[in-house]
Amino acid sequence: MIFVSSLICISLIIIFSSFFLSTQSVQFVGKIWILFILKSLKILCGIGWEVKGIENIPNTPFVMAANHQSPWESFFLQTLFLPTSSIMKKELLIIPFFGWAISRLKPISINRKLKVESLKKVIEIGGERIRGGYAVLVFPEGTRKKPEDGIGRFGNSCGLLASNEAVPIIPICHNSGKYWKNRSFKKKSGNINVVIGKPINGSDAKRLTEETRSWIKQTYFEIN
Residue ranges of the domains in the chain? 2-223
Write out pLDDT tens, residues 101-156. Answer: 999 999 999 987 788 889 999 999 999 999 999 999 999 998 899 999 999 999 99
Residue 68 has pLDDT above 90, yes or no: yes
Whether the CB-CB separation of 172 and 193 falls below 8 Å is answered with: no
Query: What pLDDT is recorded for position 174?
Result: 98
Write out pLDDT tens, residues 158-191. Answer: 999 999 999 999 999 999 999 987 776 678 999 9
* Top-tier CATH class for 2-223: alpha beta
CA atoms of 101 and 189, how far apart (whole Å) = 30
* Full-model pTM: 0.94
Write out pLDDT tens, residues 191-207. Answer: 999 999 999 999 999 99
Query: What pLDDT is recorded for position 1?
Result: 60
